[in-house]
């Protein structure tokens, strides 16, 4: 308790309000939010599905707002758009043959890449690398030549006889066995080692995604992925049937013929992130990123899914926050750190716009990104929340990487907005998996502290009935002001927040 109080005192002692931010929070009001959201979630935008004409209209709507506000692009060339290359699978066939044993797509494995064309890959040997980890305290790749070989790795990480994880030297696991983070880390390591392909044996992950892809296929949905070279690397997640053949007791190279055959039909297309920025006056090379996804799920069976809450509410909230910061700048109270307003595409396709930004083409350096405040659905209430008051918001991730970020969030709320901060879903192991399901996650996995603001799902989630008339604009106003105040403090305090 004493340590926590010291941290709290130290954190609050760095708060500096050179001007009362409440004066500028007044520019965030329910009337403006209502007006913009009724427009942004109207039928004109046809559900804003990534890559469609409706999404292009939505992107143009956002760009024009920044021009009216006279807020510059975050890009040096003045273009607000960041092109995001995507590939969509129209049809898919794949099978793996291992020494006369044939394994079928969906039944035994899935691919985590959208590949165009037909191809057969044959390898007479493969490298089994245990958990597929290379770390200061543990290395599965020691003395194994994996270049131009298919790499096979198992899920998880090593534990000693005391029940402690070898990498962390504690009972807390590392990122190497942390769900979605694990797969990216192990895949990227295999790519860097010069492998020709990667097979991860993870029966739980395989079954979950196999069921998901099958539901997509049966409903007529297509699989969309980033169309970048690293994503075209063959990435397979296999179940225990394949694992029982390829897993070995010892790491090394094994002689066994593996043949992968696939025949896919795919199309490529480009969507856009929209990025604007108010440059900091004292620390211009330190950045606070406020994000929301601009897309939704389009039209289905002749019905337009307008996505007023998901995520029209987040998109419009950012525009109001941007206006408030701009008014402060006009009065001579611009932020000391730079504020980046990031509207990402293809969130509904798998967080692809934010993943492209963080993993392939960050406009501002990730190492200088102080924090991410991500907004995804803040205009409604959760009908299953039968406790507390209606003036609440779910916060996810605030304390995961930075205690200071969490304390700032709590302090700012108590001082200015008095919202009930609900941490029900602030758990990586929550079965709803909200921690992994919005764009903040791509910042978190890059070790950038983040807060995900979320009102919870409701009866209109991903339905044509998610319309602007159902938004509770007084709540949307107060929640947007909370995010503005948090961003203001992060941008104007003496020192940037520390990562734990």
Instruction: Clarify whether residues 299 and 404 are in a common domain.
Output: yes
Above 70 in pLDDT, residue 379? yes
Q: Hey, what's the torsion of the CAs at 282, 284, 289, 290, to 10 degrees? A: 60
Which phi-psi region, left, alpha or beta, contains residue 418 (left: φ > 0; alpha: ψ -120 to 50)?
left
Task: Say if 310 falls within a structural domain.
Answer: yes
How many structural domains comprise the chain?
Answer: 2
* DSSP assignment string, 10-48: HHHTT---SS-THHHHTTS-HHHHHHHHHHHTSGGGGGG
* Beta-bridge mates of residue 157: none
* DSSP assignment string, 436-476: GSSTHHHHHTTT--EEEEE----TTTTSTT--GGG--HHHH
User: What token pair was written down for 84?
Assistant: 């995001």
Task: Say if 76 falls within a structural domain.
Answer: no
Instruction: Clarify whether residues 210 and 310 are in a common domain.
Output: no
From the CB of residue 121, how many other CB atoms can be counted at a distance below 10 Å? 14
User: What token pair was written down for 106?
Assistant: 């969906």
Instruction: Clarify whether residues 195 and 344 are in a common domain.
Output: no
Above 90 in pLDDT, residue 255? yes
Instruction: Clarify whether residues 386 and 293 are in a common domain.
Output: yes
pLDDT tens, residue by residue, 141-195: 999 999 999 999 999 999 999 999 999 999 988 889 876 678 888 998 999 999 9
* pLDDT class of 3 with cuts at 50, 70, 90: very low
pLDDT tens, residue by residue, 442-459: 999 999 999 999 999 999
Percent of the chain with pLDDT over 70: 95
Domain end among 205, 233, 266? 266
| Burial classification of residue 57, based on how many CB atoms lie within 10 Å of its CB (0-12 exposed, 13-18 middle, 19 or more buried) | middle
Q: Which long-range contacts (CB under 8 A, 24 or more apart) does 32-35 make?
A: 32/320, 32/323, 33/316, 33/317, 33/320, 33/473, 33/476, 33/477, 33/480, 34/468, 34/471, 34/473
The continuous run of DSSP H or E covering 287 comes out as strand 283-293
Residues 6+ apart with CB under 8 A from 110: 206, 209, 210, 213, 236, 237
Whether 293 contacts 48, CB under 8 Å? no
Q: At what angle do helices 30-40 and 313-330 cross, to 10 degrees?
A: 130
* Beta-bridge mates of residue 422: 394
How confident is the model at residue 212, as a pLDDT?
Answer: 83
For residue 403, which of 431, 371, 375 has the smallest C-alpha distance?
371
How does strand 117-128 pair with strand 252-278?
antiparallel
Instruction: Clarify whether residues 219 and 309 are in a common domain.
Output: no
For residue 87, which of 57, 63, 114 has the smallest C-alpha distance?
114
The SS3 of residue 434 is helix
The 8-class DSSP code of residue 118 comes to: E
How confident is the model at residue 179, as a pLDDT?
Answer: 65
Instruction: Clarify whether residues 227 and 329 are in a common domain.
Output: no
The SS3 of residue 256 is strand
How confident is the model at residue 9, as a pLDDT?
Answer: 44
Task: Say if 482 falls within a structural domain.
Answer: yes
Instruction: Clarify whether residues 345 and 472 are in a common domain.
Output: yes
Whether 37 contacts 30, CB under 8 Å? no
How confident is the model at residue 1, as a pLDDT?
Answer: 40
Task: Say if 24 falls within a structural domain.
Answer: yes
* DSSP assignment string, 339-371: EEEEEES-GGGTSHHHHHHHHT--SS-GGGEEE
Cα–Cα distances in Å, from 405 out to 7, 89, 400, 408, 423?
11, 40, 9, 5, 14
* Beta-bridge mates of residue 111: 236
Task: Say if 78 falls within a structural domain.
Answer: no
Instruction: Clarify whether residues 237 and 305 are in a common domain.
Output: no
Above 60 in pLDDT, residue 15? no
Q: Which residue has the higher pLDDT, 113 or 35?
A: 35
Cα–Cα distances in Å, from 16 out to 19, 129, 335, 480?
9, 52, 12, 21
pLDDT tens, residue by residue, 316-342: 999 999 999 999 999 999 999 999 999
Percent of the chain with pLDDT over 90: 79
pLDDT tens, residue by residue, 288-314: 999 999 999 999 999 999 999 999 999
Task: Say if 274 falls within a structural domain.
Answer: no
Above 70 in pLDDT, residue 272? yes
Considering 4-8, 107-111, 283-287, the range whose residues carry the highest mean pLDDT is 283-287
Q: What is the CATH number for 479? A: 3.40.630.10
Q: Which residue has the higher pLDDT, 51 or 229?
A: 51
Instruction: Clarify whether residues 323 and 351 are in a common domain.
Output: yes
Instruction: Clarify whether residues 36 and 9 are in a common domain.
Output: yes
Domain end among 266, 288, 303? 266
Instruction: Clarify whether residues 422 and 303 are in a common domain.
Output: yes
Domain end among 266, 297, 323? 266
How confident is the model at residue 37, as a pLDDT?
Answer: 98
User: What token pair was written down for 140?
Assistant: 């599965």
The continuous run of DSSP H or E covering 226 comes out as strand 223-226
How confident is the model at residue 13, as a pLDDT?
Answer: 43
Instruction: Clarify whether residues 461 and 388 are in a common domain.
Output: yes
Above 90 in pLDDT, residue 428? no
pTM: 0.88
* Mean pLDDT taken over the chain: 92
Q: Which residue has the higher pLDDT, 338 or 5?
A: 338
Task: Say if 211 falls within a structural domain.
Answer: yes
Q: What is the CATH number for 96? A: 3.50.30.30
Domain ranges, residue 142? 88-266
Task: Say if 447 falls within a structural domain.
Answer: yes
């Amino acid at each position: 308790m004493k340590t926590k109080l010291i941290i709290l005192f130290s954190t609050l002692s760095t708060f500096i309000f050179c001007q009362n931010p409440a004066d500028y929070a007044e520019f965030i009001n329910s009337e403006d939010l209502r007006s913009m959201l009724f427009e942004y979630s109207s039928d004109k935008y046809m559900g804003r599905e990534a890559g469609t004409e409706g999404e292009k209209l939505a992107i143009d709507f956002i760009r024009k707002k920044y021009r009216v506000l006279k807020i510059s692009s975050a890009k040096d060339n003045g273009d607000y758009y960041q092109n995001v290359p995507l590939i969509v699978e129209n049809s898919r066939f794949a099978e793996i043959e291992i020494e006369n044993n044939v394994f079928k797509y969906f039944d035994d494995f899935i691919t985590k890449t959208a590949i165009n064309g037909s191809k057969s890959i044959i390898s007479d040997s493969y490298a089994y690398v245990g958990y597929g980890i290379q770390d200061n305290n543990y290395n599965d790749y020691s003395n194994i030549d994996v270049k131009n070989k298919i790499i096979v790795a198992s899920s998880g990480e090593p534990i000693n006889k005391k029940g402690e994880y070898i990498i962390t030297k504690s009972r807390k696991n590392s990122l190497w066995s942390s769900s979605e983070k694990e797969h990216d880390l192990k895949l990227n390591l295999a790519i860097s080692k010069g492998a020709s392909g990667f097979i991860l044996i993870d029966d739980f992950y395989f079954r979950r995604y196999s069921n998901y892809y099958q539901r997509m296929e049966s409903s007529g949905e297509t699989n969309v992925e980033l169309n970048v070279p690293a994503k075209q690397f063959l990435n397979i997640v296999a179940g225990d049937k394949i694992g029982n053949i390829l897993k070995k007791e010892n790491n090394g190279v094994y002689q066994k013929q593996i043949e992968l055959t696939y025949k896919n039909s795919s199309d490529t297309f480009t969507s856009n992130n929209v990025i604007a920025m108010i440059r900091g006056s004292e620390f211009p090379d330190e950045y606070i990123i406020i994000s929301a996804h601009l897309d939704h799920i389009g039209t289905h069976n002749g019905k337009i899914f307008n996505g007023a809450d998901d995520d029209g509410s987040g998109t419009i909230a950012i525009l109001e926050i941007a206006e408030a910061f701009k008014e402060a700048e006009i009065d001579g109270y611009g932020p000391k750190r730079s504020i980046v307003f990031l509207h990402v595409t293809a969130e509904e396709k798998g967080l692809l716009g934010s993943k492209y930004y963080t993993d392939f083409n960050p406009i501002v350096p990730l190492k200088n990104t102080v924090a991410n405040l991500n907004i995804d659905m803040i205009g409604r209430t959760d009908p299953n929340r039968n406790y507390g008051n209606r003036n609440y918001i779910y916060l996810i991730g605030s304390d995961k990487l930075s205690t200071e970020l969490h304390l700032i969030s709590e302090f700012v709320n108590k001082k200015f907005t008095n919202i009930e901060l609900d941490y029900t879903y602030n758990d990586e192991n929550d079965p709803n998996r909200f921690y992994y399901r919005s764009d903040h996650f791509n910042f978190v996995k890059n070790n950038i502290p983040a807060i995900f603001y979320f009102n919870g799902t409701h009866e209109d989630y991903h339905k044509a009935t998610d319309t602007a008339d159902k938004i509770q604009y007084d709540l949307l106003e107060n929640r947007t002001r909370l995010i503005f105040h948090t961003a203001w403090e992060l941008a104007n305090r003496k020192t940037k927040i520390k990562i734990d």
